[in-house]
Amino acid sequence: MDENPPLVVVVDFGAQYAQLIARRVREANVYSEIVPYQITAAELAERAPAGIILSGGPKSVNVEGAPLVDHAIFDLGVPILGICYGAQLCAHQLGGEVDRSGRGEYGRTDIAVQSADGLLMGMSDGQDVWMSHFDAIVAPPAGATVIASSPEAPVAAFEDPVRAVYGVQFHPEVAHTPNGQRVIENFLYKACGLPPSWTMPNVIERSVEQIRTQVGDRRAICGLSGGVDSAVAAALVHKAIGPQLTCVFVDTGLMRLDEGEQVVETFQRNQGIELVHMRVADRFFAGLKGVIDPEAKRKVIGELFIRVFEEAASGLEDAEFLVQGTLYPDVIESGTPDAAKIKSHHNVGGLPEDMEFSLVEPLRALFKDEVRTVGSELGLPDEIVWRQPFPGPGLGVRIIGEVTPEKVATLQLADAIVRDEIAKADLEREIWQGFAVLPDIRSVGVMGDERTYGHPIIIRAVTSDDAMTADWARLPHDLLERMSSRIINEVTGVNRVAYDITSKPPGTIEWE
């Protein structure tokens, strides 16, 4: 099998949909990655992409300081698709014209299709698409043909098959463009000549080969948290190197209620993987004493994880590798040349510089839903594959302020109620994450005709496909009422419950 699958690069100009474009490419069974618009043609050529997609963006190509792409990229001989700003940029840099057409177009728009033989193959005249622009392409790039128009966009789509440059003013990546996926697939399959060969069985086969090459006959340990990411990573590495893998479950004291015992039961007895159980809650609470800043918490937790792994590995001969369930969103959010830092993930930005291990990260290129598919392909049980995502730092980033054993105990009980009620309502597959947060405040209440001054609990529930974006879940009011009533009655010291209705963006899914 080829070492690397054919790559389609999504060049990000600050679009809110850049990640969605990459996902749509992957849904067409073609591998994609996101890169910043500052990338040079030489840097891009080193990656040998089979296709390039220029994303949308918030700027106008006509304003001073507007982001441009290295002009030499157009001379690489690689097919290019521009979307919204990306299409305008192609026109602007290749001899076309972009101007204000009078009015912008936002939301559902009807386009007239002049040619349905190439990029728009399979689309009939009078197509609904999703627009979001004020500027418009009034003249296509030199040599390109107009293949669609709209009332306010004379060039709603263009193509130049000879030069392999294509552009659409609308957003084919969003669900509001009914035939948008077909446009993306036309570009991938016809313009780029790519087969739909990037599948999860192929990903598994390729990963197994890469792991065996990297590890050789030496040993690896896996930091097992009980979540889906580390579980799938462990199963994948175990498939590659078998008994050379030892899993280490670090019981930090920051897990969900009774989760430590569940992890040990599942992996030690049911999966046949060697497991070392490290009970080190006291060390984590000591390290977090007095720590309030969220980034500082993640750094403390990340370093303690590594130190415990190093201790566990000291008794294992040739344990030179550390397996982690790092995902593509972790890498993006932790800050890379491709993205600004949103928060450090303990297994990316929180790792100590003097770490003694070489990392094995077989899921680093995958989104969460792809990881679940890999897990199912590997035969992991549904209770692991469909377990709600849980942050590596655990409840430490769901407790605002200093983390103490008492606060963890309070939050564990409240969180268990939230998850129990979601399960009873049969919403586990619809909710991406549902959990409780303990803020660093107190509020006045009345219980039993007496004044109380207790903790509030915040319920957070979101829907999402990949955690890059998320919408707050519209939970039924009677479900919220049951959660609130149980938490206040069953969790000592809590006298108020609130529900977080913030989407991502502007918020993150976790509070810290």
Q: So what's the pLDDT on residue 402?
A: 95
CA distance 84 to 168: 6
Q: So what's the pLDDT on residue 268?
A: 67
Contacts of 472 (CB under 8 A, 6+ apart): 461, 462, 463, 500, 501, 502, 503
Query: Is a pLDDT exceeding 60 seen at residue 224?
Result: yes
Say if residues 372 and 228 touch (Cβ distance below 8 Å): yes
CA distance 76 to 350: 38
Q: So what's the pLDDT on residue 450?
A: 65
Q: So what's the pLDDT on residue 104?
A: 67
CATH of 398-499, one of 3.30.420.40, 2.60.120.380, 3.30.300.10, 3.40.50.720: 3.30.300.10
Q: For this structure, is 84 an active site residue?
A: yes
Say if residues 420 and 459 touch (Cβ distance below 8 Å): no
Q: For this structure, is 171 an active site residue?
A: yes
Q: So what's the pLDDT on residue 323?
A: 92
Mean pLDDT for 475-492 is 97
Which of 105, 173, 421, 510 does the annotation list as catalytic?
173
Q: Is the dihedral of CA 118, 124, 125, 129 positive or negative?
A: negative
Query: Which has more pLDDT, 308 or 406?
Result: 406
What stretches of 425-472 show up as alpha helix (H) in DSSP?
A: none
For the ranges 35-44, 239-248, 339-348, 433-442, the lowest mean pLDDT is seen at: 339-348
Query: Which has more pLDDT, 102 or 365?
Result: 365
Range list for CATH 3.40.50.880 in the chain: 7-191
Say if residues 181 and 172 touch (Cβ distance below 8 Å): yes
Mean pLDDT for 491-511 is 92
Buried b (16+ CB within 10 A) or exposed e, 354-370: eeebebbbbbbbbbbbb
Query: Is a pLDDT exceeding 60 seen at residue 200?
Result: yes
For the ranges 194-203, 215-224, 329-338, 357-366, the lowest mean pLDDT is seen at: 329-338
Tokens in use for 362? 């077989």
Range list for CATH 3.30.300.10 in the chain: 398-499
pTM, rounded to two decimals:
0.73
- Nearest 10 degrees: CA dihedral of 438, 426, 507, 385? 90
Which of 92, 133, 171, 346 does the annotation list as catalytic?
171
Q: CATH assignment of 200-385?
A: 3.40.50.620
Helix axes of 228-241 and 368-377: crossing angle, nearest 10 degrees: 40
- Which residues are paired to 130 by β-bridges? 108
Q: For this structure, is 247 an active site residue?
A: no
Backbone φ and ψ of 422, nearest 5°: -65, -40
- Which residues are paired to 181 by β-bridges? none
Q: So what's the pLDDT on residue 497?
A: 97
For the ranges 42-46, 123-127, 344-348, the lowest mean pLDDT is seen at: 344-348
pLDDT interval class at 344 (50, 70, 90): very low
Q: So what's the pLDDT on residue 74?
A: 95
Range list for CATH 3.40.50.620 in the chain: 200-385
Query: Is a pLDDT exceeding 90 seen at residue 505?
Result: no
Question: Locate tokens 């559902």: which residue?
Answer: 108
Mean pLDDT for 94-107 is 78
pLDDT interval class at 350 (50, 70, 90): very low
Which of these, 215, 224, 217, lies nearest to 262 by C-alpha position? 224
In this structure, whether the domain defined by 7-191 belongs to CATH 3.40.50.880 is answered with yes
Which of these, 258, 252, 240, 96, lies nearest to 165 by C-alpha position? 96
Q: So what's the pLDDT on residue 3?
A: 63
Per the prediction, the chain carries an average pLDDT of: 87
Predicted confidence (pLDDT) per residue in 150-176, tens digit: 888 889 899 999 999 999 989 999 888
